[in-house]
Structure 1
Amino acid sequence: MCKSSLISIRAMIVPVHDAAIYSNIIPTHTLKLFPKADHNFKGCYQELVDTILRYFKVHENEAARAWSLGLTKSLTIPRWIDVEGVMNFRDIGGWDVKGGNGYIRERMVFRCGHMSNMTDNGEQTLKSLGITAAFDFRSTQEIEQYGIMREIPGLDRYHSPVFLDEDYSPAAIAVRWQGYFAGPTGFPHAYRTMLQSGSQVFERIFRYLIANPRSPFIIHCTAGKDRTGVFVMLLLGLCGVDDEVIAREYELTNLGYWESEEQLAKKAKLLDRSIDDLKIVMSAPYVAMKETISMVRHEYGSIESYVRDKCHLSDADIAAIRRIMIVPIRREEKQLYRAAKL
């Protein structure tokens, strides 16, 4: 698909050098410079209109031609992936790291809800992504309730429960869910228990990543929201992704996971709560993750301190994870790099 940029030299909003780099990296791009125009092209309107009309006339039907010839070049890799039978499946890569010197490697780590209902088409999608492992954060009781993913040759499933079986007693569930019912600011209380109970599991995944630097894998729980979200927070935070971005990534679960009114009604009856209460519990509020990150810093000093103290990662381990997960951006490419889209 053909693209065109119209740049005012006087305004210097976009340096000419950067505009040229951008133009050169896209084969179907046309760059037009206006030496006398300001940022609003004042006094150059006719020249601007003539340039646009001339461009469209020359490139009429170019979009269809480019698609037919395979000449399009995408600057983004789709985040959401349709794995049939699996909800909330997405790539956690592509996010910018602070300082703009790199971004999180794409097609390396994926997150989702439980995979018990995956279809044949879903299996083929996983194979096409080259996924070699799946870490299941669910308890034995949850697995008995929902089932496990089918066996796929070349893909190892690791049962990695964040909570011990006894933690799923009715009393323990009631205590944990109180945090969720308190609203977004109460979520960190529930996530604190995950950080305490899940440190060995998180360490296991970090070490798998270090030992298998080119082997894509999945992390999932039941909804792919809470336990999965806590680990993603640790991984992205360790790699230098901004808190705001981590919280927005967590919030994407609101688009990827839902339950029917009937399912919510059953859970509400079991917990003696209203359906509206359950909808709060099933949500992924931005502020909940922001508060969780603040809680980690308050109680552990930083995300890096948590993985050092609780996951027993050394300086070399942390450096290896960053080396694997961060794709560096060269200086001349910085103006070209796009932060990942939601």
Structure 2
Amino acid sequence: MTTTSTLTNLREVGGAGFQRGRTRTVLRANTEALPASVYPASLATVVDLRRDDEIAAVEHPLRSLPGYRRVPLFDPSVSEAAADAISLEDQYTDWLWRHRATIAEVFRAIAAAAPGDVLVCCSAGKDRTGVVSMLLARLWGADLDRIGADYAETGPRLADRFAREREESQDLERTTTMQRCVPETAVHVVRHVESEFGSVTDYLRAIGLTDDEIDGL
């Protein structure tokens, strides 16, 4: 059960003020059993990246919003990550191709969003949401320092949640690994994309987005 009345990891993709001047703002967040009033009234679209079992356990507070979309980032037809992908860096870069079909659907959902602000969310707002956020921020011209700082901001925002998870963990080493939240992780992922594909735009094309869909982002 949550012990706070605020959504601690709700914030603008790319950091405060990064999207100033854009026609809409894309926000990122964790998901908790909180009232809908904790979210900005400007939200028109929610892209929920969680698995079906996670959604069943904690229904999204904005599930009745006409623009609420369930778009799991993990493709249920394949395993979530390679067995040898232990570090977060390896897991994230493995996801980029392993889950390319569902990642493409996530970006299509953002591109096709109705007028108004957009929320991208998962359980903690750190891993799945983090990967989508770093790719979006880079697509919009963010430098690596900004992308790294945006990713790392989750750590202090979820300090209480992470402490509870460690107390309840049956595998403290894995829990600690999964909670790691440092700028270098996001920088590694962006550099991997640019090394393998050339740019985030080229990656999106490689996983099936059209130029019109990319322009919609």
The aligned counterpart of 1:310 is 207
The aligned counterpart of 1:281 is 178
Quick one: structure 1 residues 118 and 197, their matched pair in 2 at CA, closer, same or farther if it must change by over 3 Å? farther
| Shift in Å, 1:166 | 5.8
Q: Say whether 1:149 aligns with 2:60.
A: yes
The aligned counterpart of 2:28 is 111
1 CA distance for matches of 2:114 and 2:62?
Answer: 23
Q: Is the 8 A contact 1:91 1:106 kept in 2?
A: no
The aligned counterpart of 1:158 is 69
Q: Is the 8 A contact 1:188 1:291 kept in 2?
A: yes
The alignment partner of 1:138 has SS state of: coil
- Number of equivalences: 211
| Shift in Å, 1:220 | 0.9
The aligned counterpart of 1:124 is 37
> Please, which of 159, 162, 166 is the counterpart of residue 264 of structure 1?
166
1 CA distance for matches of 2:75 and 2:188?
Answer: 25
Q: Say whether 1:211 aligns with 2:112.
A: yes
1:1-342 to structure 2, matched below 5 A, reads 84-92=5-13, 94-95=17-18, 105=22, 108-115=25-32, 117-119=33-35, 123-126=36-39, 128-144=40-56, 146-150=57-61, 153-165=64-76, 167=78, 175=83, 178-180=85-87, 187-212=88-113, 214-258=115-159, 259=161, 261-267=163-169, 269=170, 271=171, 273-274=172-173, 278-314=175-211, 316-321=212-217
TM-score with structure 1 length normalisation?
Answer: 0.54
| Shift in Å, 1:243 | 1.8
CA RMSD of aligned residues (A): 2.9
| Shift in Å, 1:159 | 1.6
The farther-off stretch of 211-220 and 246-255 is 211-220
The aligned counterpart of 1:52 is none
2 CA distance for matches of 1:263 and 1:154?
Answer: 30
Query: Percent same amino acid at aligned positions?
Result: 21
2 CA distance for matches of 1:213 and 1:158?
Answer: 12
Quick one: structure 1 residues 124 and 285, their matched pair in 2 at CA, closer, same or farther if it must change by over 3 Å? same
| Shift in Å, 1:86 | 2.9
Q: Which runs of 5+ in 1 are unaligned?
A: 1-82, 97-102, 181-186, 322-342
Quick one: structure 1 residues 84 and 105, their matched pair in 2 at CA, closer, same or farther if it must change by over 3 Å? farther
The aligned counterpart of 1:99 is none
| Shift in Å, 1:217 | 1.6
| Shift in Å, 1:192 | 1.7
Quick one: structure 1 residues 236 and 261, their matched pair in 2 at CA, closer, same or farther if it must change by over 3 Å? closer
Q: Which runs of 5+ in 2 are unaligned?
A: none
Cα displacement string for residues 279-313 of structure 1 (whole angstroms, at most 9, x for unaligned residues): 34212110111111111112222211101111422
1:132 corresponds to which letter in structure 2? A
| Shift in Å, 1:136 | 1.4
2 CA distance for matches of 1:216 and 1:240?
Answer: 19
